[in-house]
Structure 1
Amino acid sequence: MKDNYDRPIISLRISLTNRCNLDCLYCHHDGMLPSNLEMTSDEIYRILKIAKKIGITKIRYSGGEPLIRKDIVDIIKKTGTLNFKDISITTNGILLNQYAQDLKDAGLNRVNVSFDTLNPKTYKKITTKNFLKEAKSGILEGYKAGLDPIKINMVVMKNINNNEIMDMFNFCKEYNFVLQLIELLKSENCSDESFNNEYHVDMEPIEKSLEKLAHKIKTRNFMQDRKKYFIDNGEIEVVRPMDNTKFCENCTRLRITPEGKIKPCLLRNDNLIDIIGPIRNNATDEELEKIFIDAINNREPFYDQ
């Protein structure tokens, strides 16, 4: 199925919760929705069945921290019964020790781990917690369980971890993980430029350095022209903010919030469409499919020129 701008809808990203066991410096803190207001695993499964019917092939779960959900394995298991092409999850890794093998057995294909440093002091500064050991151990448990590929998401921050990129790369290279260097987004919680000025890193010089080291460079044309740098049998990808026309032009994803609202555009909150209400009011599959189609028809590029 395509939207009105001829963009195919192939991916659905479901935020299972906005609760988290970290309090990261750069997090936008969307608030803590009580667990009893979150979608249940059965409700999520109902949504997935409709998504499958309209042609979605890829499912990504995120949070908050999705592994906080005590029914996370059940959610993945139900997702796995629908034969999607790809099922993935974004996590901070702290609970992967507990869940990695069960998630793999339930049908999870791969995992992205938000992991910004290997240094305990830096980790505490960024997250306000002392869970570095648990996060690193969880990542390695995911590797042991056969989740592949594992991608490490490293938000690069000035005077905090911008001098640790090669340390993280060497760690990733050892286990054949992909390192994704993520340019810091400006915090919406700041009324001035202080946060951005203090922590933002210009990625251009970093990319120029990577160009000199790389024996191969690949451009991902459908992902904002992101570049992947292949260095000494390792792989680094640079992820820029999504404030450009290229991102919108190639967007193939719908999102669903923890409280069950379809989000046609990542960058807008004024056009959400409720789907959980109709589900709880015994809507038919045909009615739910129409809600999805209405959400798709509401999609338009945020940056259109």
Structure 2
Amino acid sequence: MKSKYCLGSSKENLSNSESTKDSYGYSRFPETIERIEYGRFRNIYLYITEKCQLRCGHCYMGNRLKNNTSMPTEKVFSTLQLWRKMGGSKLSILGGEPTMHEDFVDICRYAKHLGYEKVILNTNGLRNTIQQLSQMESNEFSYIQVSLDGGSSFSHNKIRGSGTFNITWSTIEYLINRGFDTRVICTVNKKNRGDCLDLIERCEKAGVSLLKFHVFSTIGNGQGNTEWGMTPKEWINFYEELEDRKKHYNISIWYQPSYATSETIIKFIREGYKGCIGRTLDRISVFPDGKAYVCSYLFDTEFNMFNTGNGKILLN
């Protein structure tokens, strides 16, 4: 018997033209090679540090944060070189909290120097963010993505800690006023589900360019908070409500379906959604120890795809 909820799907019943549409933003292959299922690692997710001021209950970094270590700057530079040579064109800089790396500014500028077409920062928006970005200009990033886990200080602070909502929101306003393309990402779980959608109006009024919603995953710290998890049906109900709500606003909104009914999976495929990122093999996550993974569910395992170091990328 077929499951009602699907994590992925084949392209059966789709015509060639339908399967190559890219309005959703997942199929990034040029038309000239549209039939090729796998390509180079275009999206490089580089975790330059495991230092972070927070210990969020849903953080997929989990015990890595206890290491409190950073990738040495020279190793960061060589890693950037290697993955650029491998065809990397879109770089996301993460942590931990990446702005806690002592050479954060130099790293970002070196990535631009190497020719990465997009350089993106993911940050928690606490005070380190303003301290570092006060030294930089808006054209040095394609965009900055700030984590905000709730539509109010009540829900956000339950997850990220007392006082963090107001600090993060002040940072968002600072970045927008400085001219940075500022985006907000919210991880939805049972603790904040009640007011997450209030972020739509708040972010639109502030000038946030894109609001993203992700579903809580039971990996990393999430393994200790499984009761926060949403069932497939609960997540589907959430994004269906989101679809209705967003009709009344102009702000761009994105969410990853993750789960879909058998009636709607074809729609998502036509929009370019390919299911699990591991199926497209165009994204790699590299950690301070040099281990590189194709899927976040493997981060706490020995199933890294590559080891990076000494100027080489070695298959594990």
TM-score range relative to shorter protein: 0.7 to 0.9
Question: Which of structure 1's runs of 4+ aligned residues deviate more than 4 A?
Answer: 187-191
The Cα shift of 1:245 comes to 7.1
The Cα shift of 1:107 comes to 2.1
1:235-261: CA deviation from partner (whole Å, max 9, x where unpaired)? 22223459x972232341112112222
Unaligned 5+ runs, structure 1: 216-230, 280-287, 299-305
| Among candidates 226, 233, 246, match of residue 196 of structure 1 | 226
TM-score normalized by the length of structure 2 = 0.72
1:236 equivalent in structure 2? 253
The aligned runs of 1:43-192 (5 Å cut-off) are 43-94=75-126, 95-104=128-137, 107-148=140-181, 150-158=182-190, 160-174=191-205, 175-187=207-219
TM-score normalized by the length of structure 1 = 0.75
Q: Could you say if the C-alpha distance between residues 105 and 73 of structure 1 is closer, same or farther in structure 2, counting changes exceeding 3 Å?
A: farther
Q: What RMSD, in angstroms, separates the aligned Cα atoms of the two structures?
A: 3.0
Q: Which amino acid aligns with 1:131?
A: T
1:260 aligns with 2:290: yes
Distance 1:213 1:131 in 2: 26
SS in 1 for 2:82: helix
1:64-88: CA deviation from partner (whole Å, max 9, x where unpaired)? 1111112111111111211211000
2:59 equivalent in structure 1? 27
1:140-175: CA deviation from partner (whole Å, max 9, x where unpaired)? 222122222x221111222x3212133211111111
1:282 equivalent in structure 2? none
* Paired positions, count: 261
Q: Is the 8 A contact 2:58 2:221 kept in 1?
A: no
Q: Is the 8 A contact 2:56 2:221 kept in 1?
A: no
Q: Which amino acid aligns with 2:131?
A: Q
Q: Is the 8 A contact 2:217 2:229 kept in 1?
A: no
SS in 2 for 1:81: helix
1:226 equivalent in structure 2? none
SS in 2 for 1:134: helix
* % same residue: 19
2:275 equivalent in structure 1? 246
Q: Which amino acid aligns with 2:275?
A: K
1:29-61: CA deviation from partner (whole Å, max 9, x where unpaired)? 2232243xx322222112212222221111111
Unaligned 5+ runs, structure 2: 1-32, 260-272
Q: Is the 8 A contact 1:22 1:129 kept in 2?
A: no
1:75-122: CA deviation from partner (whole Å, max 9, x where unpaired)? 111112112110001111113222234343682221111111253333
Q: Could you say if the C-alpha distance between residues 27 and 34 of structure 1 is closer, same or farther in structure 2, counting changes exceeding 3 Å?
A: closer
Q: Could you say if the C-alpha distance between residues 257 and 187 of structure 1 is closer, same or farther in structure 2, counting changes exceeding 3 Å?
A: closer
The aligned runs of 1:4-23 (5 Å cut-off) are 6-23=38-55
1:39 equivalent in structure 2? 71
Q: Is the 8 A contact 1:123 1:132 kept in 2?
A: yes
Q: Which sits farther off after the overlay, 254-263 or 13-22? A: 254-263
SS in 1 for 2:180: coil
Q: Could you say if the C-alpha distance between residues 241 and 98 of structure 1 is closer, same or farther in structure 2, counting changes exceeding 3 Å?
A: farther
1:255-277: CA deviation from partner (whole Å, max 9, x where unpaired)? 2112222334443332433323x
Distance 2:185 2:239 in 1: 16
Distance 1:16 1:85 in 2: 19
- For CA contacts below 8 A with separation 6 or more, give which structure has more relative contact order: 2
Distance 2:168 2:246 in 1: 29
SS in 2 for 1:88: strand
Distance 1:84 1:111 in 2: 15
Q: Which amino acid aligns with 1:179?
A: L
